[in-house]
Amino acid sequence: MESETIRTKETVNFIGNASESNTKIRNLVQMYGMIGHTCSMIGKIFSLQILAILITYMSFTCERLLSVRNETNILVNKIIMNYDLPTTMRDQAKAFMQLVEAWPLRIYIYDMFSVDITLMLKFISVATTYFIVVIQVVHFS
């Protein structure tokens, strides 16, 4: 019988060693803030262009951004709940959590609808309803 090899998944430690002087979480907070500001500016400046390319790649990209935001939220929560880490690192993670909650990373078109997978489903729903109405009108005339 062959011996089975158990492979472990190596993970990258993005926050470094636990110490009072470690500021990597603070750096992540600054990067996340810049990403949130960029999403906000994209929505304000490029609303018409986003509406024009909505049917293509944009909705899926925005949906992926939202799922990464949710994953970030979960990972930051794990750092906060790890009581073995120094208080300063946990405090930085709490500030990061507040930033994640403040910047939802949603891109809005004309401040009316969010660009994500639900918008695509709404378009499909409207098109299907319109198609059914057209079939009924053509059938009865």
Instruction: Mark 118-130 as b/e (b = at least 16 C-beta within 10 Å).
Output: ebbeeeeeeeeee
8, pLDDT greater than 60: no
Could you tell me how far CA 134 lies from the centroid of its own chain?
38
pLDDT in tens, 80-120: 999 999 999 999 999 999 999 998 888 887 777 787 777 77
Instruction: Kindly report the pTM of this predicted structure.
Output: 0.60
- Output the pLDDT for position 58: 72
**Domain limits, the chain:** 24-116
pLDDT of 3 over the 60 cut? no
79 pLDDT higher than 60: yes
Other Cβ atoms less than 10 A from the Cβ of 47: the count is 17
Using 50, 70 and 90 to split pLDDT, how confident is the model at 5? Answer: low
- How does pLDDT run across 11-66, given as a tens digit for each residue? 656 677 777 788 888 888 888 889 988 888 887 888 777 766 765 667 777 888 88
Quick one: angle between helices 24-45 and 87-102, nearest 10? 10
